[in-house]
A = this chain, B = another copy of it.
Amino acid sequence: MARAGLDQQAVLAAAAEIADTKGVEELTLSTLAQKLGIRPPSLYNHVHGLPGLRRQLVLYAYAKLKETLTQAAVGKAKDEAVRSLAEAYRAYVHRHPGVYEASERYADLTDPEVQRAAGEVVDLLIQVLEPYGLEHEEAIHVIRGFRSMAHGFATIERSGGFGIPLDLDVSYRKLLDAYLAGLRALYAK
């Protein structure tokens, strides 16, 4: 029999790698077991079936995203911080396309753990917006806008939805430029 010596971390890491390299549809208990050198039923020792695996992957995705964004924001403020966050968000989706997609596809936002993990990302964004001195509600609106742009651009890009051969970096920068300029214009001063 020869035990494989796996734990949740190892299983999750293998799952993330399959998702990122082969795509999220390829992440099955079969492919995962094969990668780990065990039989599919053995996975139930580490994970609550496929739903449990997906849930773990969602939590991992949010944690990693928060970590990535946090690193991007240190030592920066205002527009510079926002631009850095936007770049980091997009880069994260590039680097972890499958994991990010899993967080879109499988997140059950009625699950308190998942809510907390997702909420921590939003909390970070709130922090970064502090220096602007916005009303709380206003900050929420701005964050929703930011997330929409970053998520929307990155996912359309990931799916190959921007078909015309024109520099995507430029498009993204212009989108952000416009939004930031618009905020300046609207919130006057």
In angstroms, how far is the closest chain B Cβ from the Cβ of A60?
Answer: 17
CB pairs A–B below 8 angstroms (5 shown): A104-B155, A109-B163, A151-B152, A152-B153, A178-B185
Cβ of A177: which chain B residues have Cβ within 8 Å of it?
182, 186
Cβ of A147: which chain B residues have Cβ within 8 Å of it?
152, 156, 161
Chain A interface (Cβ within 8 Å of chain B)?
104, 107, 109-110, 115, 118-119, 122, 137, 140-142, 144-145, 147-153, 155-156, 159-164, 166, 168, 170-171, 174-175, 177-186
* B148 and A175 form a contact (CB under 8 A): yes
Cβ of A151: which chain B residues have Cβ within 8 Å of it?
152, 155-156
Q: How far is the CA of A160 from the CA of B110 in the complex (A)?
A: 9
* B153 and A148 form a contact (CB under 8 A): yes
Q: How far is the CA of A184 from the CA of B164 in the complex (A)?
A: 24
A interface, over-half SS: helix
Cβ of A179: which chain B residues have Cβ within 8 Å of it?
175, 178-179, 182
In angstroms, how far is the closest chain B Cβ from the Cβ of A140?
Answer: 5
With A151-B155, A181-B185 as given contacts, are A174 and B141 in contact (CB-CB < 8 Å)? yes
Q: Give the most central of A141, A155, A159: most B CB within 10 Å.
A: A141
Tell me which of B118, B137, B153, B170 contacts A166 (CB under 8 A): B137
* B178 and A183 form a contact (CB under 8 A): yes
In angstroms, how far is the closest chain B Cβ from the Cβ of A171?
Answer: 4
Give the 4 A-B residue pairs with the shortest CB-CB distance, closest first.
A152-B152, A182-B182, A178-B182, A148-B152
Cβ of A152: which chain B residues have Cβ within 8 Å of it?
147-153, 155
Cβ of A161: which chain B residues have Cβ within 8 Å of it?
107, 109, 118, 147
Q: Which residue of B lies closest to A168 (CB)?
A: B144
With A181-B181, A182-B181 as given contacts, are A153 and B159 in contact (CB-CB < 8 Å)? no
